[in-house]
Structure 1
Amino acid sequence: MPNFDALTYPYASQRMMSIARKGMVATSQPLAAQAGLDILKKGGNAIDAAIATAACLTVVEPTSNGIGGDAFALVWTKGELHGLNASGPAPQGLNIEAVKELGHESMPTFGWLPVTVPGAPSAWAALSERFGKLPLREVLEPAIQYAENGYPISPILGKYWKRAAQIFKTRLKGEEFENWFKTFTKEGKAPEIGEMWSSPEHAATLREIGETGAESFYRGSLANKIDEFSRQHGGFLRKEDLAAFRPEWVKPIRVNYRGYDVWEIPPNGQGLVALMALNTLKNFDFAEKDSADTYHKQIEAMKLAFADGKKYITQRDKMAVDTEQLLNSEYGKLRGNLIGEEALIPEPGTPPSGGTVYLATADGEGNMVSFIQSNYMGFGSGIVVPGTGIGLQNRGHDFSLNPEDANRLEPGKKTYHTIIPGFLTKGDQPVGPFGVMGGYMQPQGHVQVVMNTVDFHLNPQSALDAPRWQWVAGKTVEVERSLPAHIAEALARRGHDIKVTVDSGGFGRGQIIWRDPETGVLYGGTEPRTDGSIASW
């Protein structure tokens, strides 16, 4: 376990880290965290708790995820780390020509065109079947109860729900969007903070997924309903696309950073971007966290990693280079040599040949899970299948319509994916799961959390509390207002276009659980930028 200081970071929210032994669930919504803990107390393990929490989040935080989204997981059990990629491909009938014939020069944000096969229900079923102790229907019961009986709207949830309703009211025009407003608003208005909210259709769908092991969603009545609604409104998703889909068990990828192995899911996920940045940063020594030089090198390494990531990352078997090439130590040094005293405009290199929710769980048996799922951009496509509560993702928005791009749209292909779970180990021992959700902030958040932990010895809560930065494009970097002013000014003198942002919502929302290998004691941190909560036992 990292040697961290128990004291809080000077600029922290003063939320204290959690310490427990028998179990811990960390996520962005207190009701979901408690649901996961309840499953642990019923005899479930960390995998069961992760599924319960994830399903509950589709109910109590629909602004960030849903049944119709994708999911990824890293699971530590019995001395081994397993990876699960439950992201879905484009429909077989969808291609570049079809999109352009409909008048689009780029993939739209809303509607049926950006809808890809949802993977989240398959992730729950696959995890339950392989590693769970309790039946899936029992694990989904807390989510079902909240959907049926209702729950009060929490502050950050209410904020983003209201924002989404306002945006959708102006941008979603057409019959295909009517059911979103019927499902997620009351007479066109989002629920207020403290107001009770329920969704019986959502409950019925979760119950059907639990009773059938998600078979109904992919090869049963729910699949038929999705197919019917897609055909009705000119969508390309078909029940054949759903029936053909299976989640993939994958070998996680890693980079060694100062004696710790940092693990991510391989492409099509963008976890590779975080590893490339760390592979560059490990060639530098950092004397202190709060210095302009530290922030400058972090930002520059991140820019270089994103340049490579946006050029190369797509479905893994369609990539022009291997991940091993991009994580080559010598290539990391070459990229690091490009970092000077001034801010640069990043360009991809040539490597040598050869809206999202995050949760972390741990139990007293040593199992640990890093899990993330999303509909993308909040509520996703704006498409809700009638009678089901299923809001479909718009993950296909990230496809390129340029035939020369690596991430070009192709039938049955998975797009570059932003959601990424992280995991830290040392030697053959697990340290624990971590993650920071939030679009292209995610690999940037992973790098900052890892460095806060390994380089600067911050405890889990302080590692999350610390001020964050986010490279946006070119030389533009957004920073939180809690970042010391003298550092922001020094970065500006180095050529960075610094934008101080009042709203911290865009800087990601993370969770961490570290385990002491000798005592089994768990140390957790949760995000101050959301309704974050840790349920401990």
Structure 2
Amino acid sequence: MAYPRQPLFAPHGAVTTSQPLAAAVGLAVLRRGGNAVDAALATAIALTVLQPPSNDIGGDLFAIVWDGERLHGLNAAGRSPAALTREMVLTATGRRAAEPVDALGGAQACGPAMPARGWLPVTVPGAPAGWRDLHDRFGSVPFADLFTDAVGYAEHGYPVAAGTAATWARGVAGHAGLVGEEYAEFARVFTVDGRAPRPGERWRNPDAARTLRRIAETGAEDFYRGSIAEALDGHAARTGGLITGDDLARHTSTWVDPVSVRYRGHEVWELPPPGQGVAALLALHILDGLDLAALGPEEWLHRQVEAMKLGFADAHAHVADPERAPVPTAALLDPGYAAARRSLVTDRAGDPVAGDPERGGTVYLCAADAGGMMVSLIQSTYQAFGSHVVLPGYGFALQNRGTGFRLDPDHPNVVAPAKRPFHTIIPGFLTRDGAPVGPFGVMGGHMQPQGHVQLVSAALDGGLGPQAALDAPRWYWHAGRTLLVEPELAAEPGLVAGLRARGHEVAVAEEPSVFGYGQAIWRLESGGYAAGTESRVDGAALGY
């Protein structure tokens, strides 16, 4: 498989994301005089219509913004319903309270024991409030203007992109067998005669158009305290859901300070927990202490994998909602702790467990403007169509982010009322000596920190620009010693044999979605931007 894309070079601004029509929406905002946040928001809002298997109005959002002088982080994730308890989940899933569940098992305990579909994993959608809050702080054009294209696509329809159609088909197949009144609306909204729309087939969602208009006209107030909130409250009450109007009314986004580690003379930035960005930072911190020049390609890849395993082990053990549990973020990113973890990387594939640093499925986009503002934004309902619960008459699915909770009562991420779960979606940003290089991200659940590590390494160790760094062949680790590689890596002489000799169980994966979908924009020293988009999906990088 070849990835023939060339980078985009733009003198003024750029937008890049996984759906070309959405990228065009953001570019149009830039050309009309909007800034990078305006463009990112218009793109994100359009993506709920243009790529609904991966994100929707009922999802969450995280963002990093370079305002021209410094970085800002927004956690626009929702919390669990106030009525949700661990005991309720155990009863609903047929477990006994005394039964050991969801044992941590280090980085290998990647599959949460929470149910993935239906009402139990539904958390309050944070995306509409996130759109409003980003706009209130940084936006320069009227909020309602950012919805125009999304409403038009929802109301009049559009031909579905090929990559989106493939994801859509997998989501519809996953819906088969889901029985209950809470699932009744899904087929009416998201299927065509019971199937997913085919590539190029026109699809409309007029109910979503009406919902987006209400959000636009009320600054998202209607979603949390108005007619949409009332409809959601009523639907949950009728069909066994726990979310209430009070849960929606209590929702708030949280402004946070991004966290970073040094890597090859740069600063790599992620958002703090409850996201898994610290897993990528931990891995990069470990790798930064290794002499790349002394390592061959196979040994370097092996050490990347082992560092990533250690990063996941710590993230899965310690990451939780910092408002509800102590999270040792600073200790995890301490150079001394990274050195101690680095010493655990050997010549053999390992099965790492979490350390003790101190005792006691998604769309991604980035945008940049002529004034130097840059945005890294990620938005998701999780898995394909989230919970598969669709609010009748409103045209959107609710996320299933609650499946990221644990059922282990001693884990900091244990399911509890009004709590944010462990989040997989993570925006990234790169600086050098405090000056911006640019936003980047790779979406795809458990792949995301691995994609961040591989993209940053390709850029900083390999000297590649954003497009070439995205096109570089990838590997993926999920659990145990199984390691998936793309065909291009398998074709490198001796690479697979060398990895197998170290104990990795290597398999070649032909399905590109396994390896995530990424975007990146770098600032050019001479002015303007270089942008890259994912070659494995319907991505587009557009600029002017």
TM-score category, normalised to shorter length: over 0.9
Determine the structure 1 residue equivalent to 2:143. Answer: 136
Residue identity opposite 1:73 in structure 2? A
CA displacement, residues 260-282 of structure 1 (integer Å, 9 cap, x when unaligned): 11111100010011001111111
- 1:298 corresponds in structure 2 to 304
* C-alpha distance in structure 2 between counterparts of 1:71 and 1:480, whole Å: 29
Give 1:457's aligned amino acid. G
What is the Cα deviation at residue 353 of structure 1?
5.5
Alignment of 1:90-105 (within 5 A): 90-105=80-95
Q: Would the aligned equivalents of 1:289 and 1:456 in 2 still touch at CA under 8 Å? A: no
**More deviation, 279-288/114-123:** 279-288
Over the matched positions of the two proteins, sequence identity in percent amounts to 49
1:27 matched to which residue of 2? 17
Displacement after TM superposition at 1:484 (Å): 3.5
User: Residue 122 of structure 2 aligns with which residue?
Assistant: 115
Q: Which residue of structure 2 lines up, in the alignment, with residue 527 of structure 1?
A: 534
Q: Which amino acid aligns with 2:459?
A: T
- The answer to whether the 8 A contact 1:24-1:361 is kept is yes
Partner letter of residue 455 of structure 1? D
Alignment correspondent of 1:255: 261
**Aligned to 1:391, what secondary structure does the other structure show?**
coil
Deviation digits for residues 420-442 of structure 1, max 9, x if unmatched? 00000112211000000000100
In the superposition, relative to structure 1, how do residues 288 and 15 fare at CA in structure 2: closer, same or farther (>3 Å)? farther
How many Å separate the matches in 2 of 1:503 and 1:484?
14
Contact 2:282-2:311 within 8 A present in 1 as well: yes
Counterpart CA distance in 1 for 2:88 and 2:174 is 27
Q: Which amino acid aligns with 1:149?
A: H
Contact 1:313 1:406 in 2 (8 A): yes
* Structure 1 residue matching 2:477: 3-state secondary structure: strand
Q: State which drifts further: 104-113 or 239-248.
A: 104-113
Deviation string 1:22-46 (CA, Å, 9 cap, x unpaired) is: 1100000000000000111111100
Match of 1:72 among 62, 80, 86: 62
Is 1:166 aligned to residue 173 of structure 2? yes
Query: Residues 453-481 of structure 1, C-alpha deviation per residue, up to 9 Å, x if partnerless?
Result: 11110111110111111111011111111
CA contact (8 A) 2:81 2:418 kept: yes
Are the structure 2 counterparts of residues 304 and 31 from structure 1 closer, same or farther at C-alpha, using a change threshold of 3 Å? same
1:215 matched residue in structure 2: 221
Match of 2:523 among 502, 505, 515: 515
| Equivalent pair of 1:325/1:354 in contact (CA under 8 Å) | no
Give the one of 499, 507, 532 matched to 1:491.
499
Q: 1:4 maps to which residue? A: none
Post-superposition offset of 1:12:
5.3
State which of 462, 479, 483 in structure 2 corresponds to 1:473: 479
Q: Tell me the equivalent position of 2:201.
A: 195
**Partner residue of 1:370 out of 366, 376, 382:** 376
What stretches of structure 1 move > 3 A for 4+ residues in a row? Answer: 103-106, 317-321
2:431 to 425, 431, 447: 425
Q: Secondary structure at the match of 1:483?
A: helix
Judged with a 3 Å threshold, the aligned counterparts in structure 2 of structure 1 residues 290 and 457 are, in CA distance, closer, same or farther, namely farther
AA aligned opposite 2:532: G
CA–CA separation in structure 2 for the residues paired with 1:50 and 1:285: 38
CA positional deviation for 1:317 = 3.5
Q: CA deviation at 1:256?
A: 1.1
Q: Is the 8 A contact 1:290 1:487 kept in 2?
A: no
Give RMSD over aligned pairs: 1.3
Please state if 1:505 is matched with 2:505.
no
The separation in 2 between residues aligned to 1:215 and 1:288, in whole angstroms, is 57
CA distance in 2, matches of 1:215, 1:244: 12
Pairwise mapping of residues 268-287 of structure 1 onto structure 2 (< 5 A)?
Answer: 268-287=274-293
1:375 is matched by which residue type in structure 2?
A: T
Provide the C-alpha distance between the structure 2 equivalents of 1:193 and 1:230, rounded to a whole number of angstroms. Answer: 34
SS, match of residue 542 in structure 2: strand
8 Å contact kept, 1:331–1:352: no
**TM-score, with normalisation over the residues of structure 2?**
0.95
Q: CA deviation at 1:402?
A: 1.6
- The AA in structure 2 aligned to 1:439 is G
Aligned residue pair count: 525
Question: Quick check: 1:152 aligned with 2:168?
Answer: no
Cα distance in 2 between the residues matched to 1:112 and 1:321: 28
| 2:101 match | none
Contact 1:107 1:401 in 2 (8 A): yes
Distance (Å, rounded) in 1 between the aligned partners of 2:325 and 2:454: 27
Q: Aligned-pair distance for 1:519?
A: 2.8
Deviations for 1:32-69, whole angstroms, at most 9, x for unmatched residues? 00000011111110000000000000001011000000
- 2 CA distance for matches of 1:12 and 1:416? 35
- Gapped regions of structure 2 (runs ≥ 5): 96-112
Q: Which amino acid aligns with 1:65?
A: N
CA distance in 2, matches of 1:321, 1:240: 28
Give the drift of 1:320. 4.1
Counterpart residue number, 1:6: none
Could you tell me how far apart the structure 2 residues matched to 1:526 and 1:461 are?
A: 6
Give 1:164's aligned amino acid: G
SS at match of 1:82: strand
Using the alignment, how far apart are the partners of 1:319 and 1:264 within structure 2? 20
User: What is the identity, as a one-letter code, of the residue corresponding to 1:49?
Assistant: A
Code of the aligned partner of 2:55: N
C-alpha change, 1:35 and 1:343, in structure 2 (3 Å) is same
Which stretch shifts more, 313-322 or 128-137? 313-322
Q: Secondary structure at the match of 1:22?
A: coil
Residue 336 to residue 200, structure 1, CA distance change in 2 (3 Å) = same
TM-fit CA distance, 1:103: 3.3
Q: For structure 1, which segment, 422-431 or 280-289, has the greater mean C-alpha deviation from structure 2 after superposition?
A: 280-289
CA drift at 1:504 = 1.0
Conserved in 2, the CA contact under 8 Å of 1:370 and 1:434?
Answer: yes
The answer to whether the Cα contact below 8 Å between 1:79 and 1:428 also exists between their aligned partners in 2 is no
Q: Does 1:49 align with 2:39?
A: yes
CA distance in 2, matches of 1:376, 1:250: 22
Cα distance per residue 1:174-218 (max 9 Å; x no partner)? 221110100001221111111111111011111110111100001
CA-to-aligned-CA distance 1:285-335 (integer Å, 9 cap, x gap) = 112897111100000000011011100001124444421100110111111
Does structure 2 conserve the Cα–Cα contact (< 8 Å) formed by 1:75 and 1:369? yes
In structure 2, give the amino acid aligned to 1:122: A
Question: Are the aligned partners of 1:12 and 1:462 in contact in 2 as well (CA < 8 Å)?
Answer: no
Q: TM-score, normalised by structure 1?
A: 0.96
| CA deviation profile, 1:348-398 (whole Å, cap 9, x unmatched) | 111146920000000101010000000000210000000101210000011
- Contact 2:30 2:39 (8 Å CA) reproduced: yes
Go from structure 1 to structure 2 and tell me whether the alpha carbon gap of 1:224 and 1:164 turns closer, same or farther (over 3 Å shift).
same
Unmatched 5+ stretches in structure 1:
1-10
The answer to whether the aligner puts 1:345 opposite 2:351 as a matched pair is: yes
In the aligned structure 2, how far is the partner of 1:17 from the partner of 1:104? 52
Deviation, 1:17, is 0.5
Letter paired with 2:71: L
Match for 1:515: what amino acid? R
In 1: Cα distance, 2:62 partner to 2:295 partner: 31
SS at match of 1:300: helix
Deviation readout 1:194-253 (Å, 9 max, x if unpaired): 111111101111111011110000111101111111111111100100100110010111
Q: 1:536 aligns with which of 530, 535, 543?
A: 543
> What one-letter code is carried by the residue in structure 2 that aligns with 1:361?
A
Distance 1:335 1:73 in 2: 29
Instruction: Show the counterpart of 2:107.
Output: none
CA distance in 2, matches of 1:79, 1:327: 24
Cα distance, 1:391–1:306 mapped onto 2, change above 3 Å: same
